[in-house]
Structure 1
């Protein structure tokens, strides 16, 4: 019987390798197989699937150009085939988890416009009860609701300051008014610092109120937290625990 070595194809299944004159190409992995192994479940097809919403897919696509994605329609979502073996598919899924777990930049923070509006409403109430240093001209006054350190168990105090003051001077004035311990000028481990009530962000001691008003970091009518912290603390957690 004559042999035809250049006719047909060998089955790609590792334990088969049979020369088949009527070979089949798998639509999924594009490899060639014999009649017995032509279906994906018969040759342990290496194609794996990852499902992403359109938004997540775009993020993964940018972060990993090494993957080949092929879209398929599906109600309410978009299916994408990842033509890749186990390790690459696991990487794609890992990237998806990172995207899902990454918090939004706006999480827990109000937009500046909303913060400014809230401060205006609070300002009207503060002006009726606020205390401060006498002699500060009305145009220079900046009103703030001061949440005092938790250990004092005191209610928040509406106060006003001069916009020319630094936050360091504001802290000294509040501490003196409430007669609380202030060791900012000593070698004490903990110091008094002011933090934005909404974001928990540290307000720089050396900057004036006027400069942060211009940057819209605070507004007249904003709420701030005065707390004892270590000198390396730049962010105050659980600001919602401070209540009037």
Structure 2
């Protein structure tokens, strides 16, 4: 028995190895050794052409519309609705590719305002047009200083620091107020929240140094809050006056005096 008649040589020209168990390529049907049996290993010319999905040609890479961009990807470009250019995801926004609107219209709201003006002629549609009307002032007008608006919590803290009153009143039951007296002075006081308005009136009047009997004989004496609402003397203080409110003591001559 002659050994060379056994097996076959590898069909790859630069190999030609004698293989006793050669393997046949499933495409070209040629025998190969185990190292060259794969189609890529012997440049198989019988491989079928790659299938093209849906009958379309392979997609080519598309370059971003920004000249300095080096990004290229398969179909990963986004059309710009304003300039109609094609851009990658990183440059798809108008401010990222120096966008110039087709037709030269740089105001995206111009059409909307024109349509609104057509149907509603008397309406003000442009914020830029409305702004001058709202801010127009004459050269002779003197700007008024804007008063500083203090927070109520800060005002209340100041009242608590300065207020005087009956020390027997528990802190949780105190109502703090600036009391304006008839002699143009202001007393910072605290009163019991459960006290009646009449009792607070007596306490506030005592601060004036005037005689009660002689005063009430010819004058009406009462308390009002900031909006000139007269407080009923039989009401509970905390039910008609909020903590921190300004209180005014009124001494008004009687009409028949």
Question: How does the TM-score come out when normalised to structure 2?
Answer: 0.38
Higher RCO, 1 or 2 (CA under 8 Å, sep at least 6)? 1
The structure carrying a bigger strand percent of its residues is: 1
The structure carrying a bigger helix percent of its residues is: 1
